[in-house]
Structure 1
Amino acid sequence: MKAIIIVILLIYLRQTVSLECELCDGPCRCSGPYLYCDNLNLTSALSCTDPPRTIDFSYNKIEVINWELFANSTAQNQYCHNNFRNNAITASTGTYRTNQCNRVILSLGYNALRELPSGFFVTDSGGGELFEFSFYVSNNRMRNIARGSIIVHNIIGTLTIYFDNNEISYIPSGAFDFHVSRTFTLYLRDNYIVSLSSTEFSHWLEISSQSLTIYVEANNITTMEYTEELAFLKSNITVRIYISNNPLVCDCNLRWIADTNSSIRQAIQASGLPFAPRCKTPDILKEHTLMSLFRQNFTCPPKLDPNATLNVQAISGKQLSLRCPFAKADPPVEFYDWVFTPSNPPPSPISGWDSQFATTTKTDQLIINNFSSEGIFKCTPLFPKSSVSVDINVSFDNSHETSTEEKINKKALFCS
Structure 2
Amino acid sequence: MSDRQNSQMTPGIAAARLPADTIAENFADLHAPYAPHEAAVAADRCYFCHDAPCVTACPTGINIPLFIRQISTGTPEAAAKTIFDSNILGGMCARVCPTEDLCEQACVRELAEGKPVEIGRLQRHATDALMAKQSHPYERALSTGKCVAVVGAGPAGLACAHRLAMHGHDVNIYDAADKPGGLNEFGIAAYKTTDSFAAREVDWLLGIGGIDIKYGQRLGENLSLDSLAEAYDAVFLGLGLGGVNALRADGEDKDGVRDAVDFIADLRQSSDLTTLPVGRDVVVIGGGMTAVDAAVQSKLLGAQNVTIAYRRGRDAMSASRYEQDLAASKGVHLMFNVQPVAVHGNGAVREIELEYTADDGAGLKGTGETVRLRADQVFKAIGQSLETDAELALNGRKIAVTGAGRTSRDGVWAGGDCASGGDDLTVTAVAEGRDAAEDIHAALSA
- Shorter-chain TM-score: which interval? under 0.3
Tell which has more relative contact order, 1 or 2 (C-alpha 8 A, sep 6+): 2
Normalized per residue, the structure richer in strand is 1
TM-score (norm 1): 0.20
Normalized per residue, the structure richer in helix is 2
